[in-house]
Amino acid sequence: MVQIIPVEEAVGKILSHDITRIVPGEFKGRAFKKGHMITDEDVPKLKQLGKDHIYVLNLCEGLVHENLAAERIAKAICGPCLKFGEPNQGKIELTSQLSGLLKIDVSLLQKLNEIPDVTIATLLTNQPVCVGTTVAGTRIIPLFTREENLLRLEDVCRQHAPLITVKPFLPFRVGLITTGTEVFHGRIPDGFGPIVRSKFKAMGSEIYRQDIVPDEIPIIAEAISRQVSEGAQLVVLTGGMSVDPDDLTPASIRATGASVISYGAPTYPGAMFMLAELNGVPILGLPGCTMYHKATIFELVVTRLLAGERVTRSDIIALGHGGLCAGCQNCHYPNCGFGKS
């Protein structure tokens, strides 16, 4: 497959290795990369580099070079809001074009990586990503592969939704209700509101109003119902989420007639969390950890809601695998396994 030929005869051939250019004391780097197709203009440049003879690939019919293979794989797996560049040493990376929720079809990923020579690596699914985030990489292992492997991969991909997508965060109209008699009467400042407001702002949504109410079930329930009737697309309550007798937020959510999807989540921090729905509007009861930790149940559930998904009890239960925060001294979320399985 690899031939040594005079450089003058190499036009149209594919380099089988990188060629380095060295200028003593000034520069050392790649002049031509592996996989480059040699042109007439390249011949004098190669001779200047001392390459009278070079190693080229002469592929038989039915074999595909690693660069072209990577391009075909990237095209097959790339979903909406993603882009990919040119191969670099046989590898192509996929990057996000917007801020949103990364979605990986994990079972499809398993099938594709079972195809001979194919490798695809991704970030964990259901995590927020920003513009320019590298979310996946792909290449084949050898220098070339049988085309039948790529045809098989492309056929499998055609039968499924894209392997990798980024769902944009939608701009929600969010209502915030801060519970607590001590906050209502001004005995302590509201520490929750500014934090929750900033978290939503970072994902492109706004808190259109904040109601501060005392610890009284009828008043809290009335505030929830009022915000839903005003057109809130999401209502968030802070405070009073534990099982202590004077923590009344869960009972207040139930008092509205809302359907409770889950009270409690297998995530630490974030266990004392409630998700309910009232007239199709998600109602969230946030535990106190949301105010103190960078990553909690808030990040795991709200990102999915803002991406337009409906979160079920099964989704909450599934968070148990990966639901333990490691408590790193310097939090790296979302670049960690918290809440991702």
Structural domain contains residue 195: yes
Is residue 281, in this structure, part of any structural domain at all? Answer: yes
- Domain CATH for 32: 3.90.105.10
Does residue 101 lie in a domain region? yes
Residue 238's CB is within 10 A of a number of other CB atoms, namely 27
pTM to 2 decimal places:
0.82
The answer to whether 238 and 177 have CB atoms below 8 angstroms apart is yes
Give per-residue burial for 179-209: e unless 16+ CB within 10 Å, then b. Answer: bbeebbeeeeebebbeebbebbeebebebee
Residues 39-73 as b or e (16 or more Cβ within 10 Å = b): eeebbebbeebebeebbbbeeeeebbbbbbbbbbb
Answer yes or no: do 185 and 123 share one domain.
Answer: no
- Structural domain of 103: 63-168
| Nearest residue to 339 via CA among 285, 293, 280 | 293
What's the total number of domains in the chain?
A: 3
In sequence order, what are the residues at sequence separation of 6 or more whose Cβ sits closer than 8 angstroms to the Cβ of residue 238? 176, 177, 178, 179, 192, 193, 196, 286, 290, 291
Residues 108 and 16 in one domain: no
Flag whether 36 is in a domain: yes
Contact (Cβ atoms closer than 8 angstroms) between residue 38 and residue 122: no
44/124 same-domain check: no
Q: Are residues 107 and 177 in the same domain?
A: no
Which residue, among 286, 277, 269, has the nearest Cα to 207 in the 3D structure? 286
Is residue 15 domain-shared with residue 80, that is, in the same domain?
Answer: no
Mean pLDDT, contiguous 10-residue spans, the chain (341 residues): 81 80 81 82 88 77 88 96 89 96 97 98 95 96 92 97 96 95 89 93 95 94 97 93 76 96 94 95 93 90 96 96 91 87 69
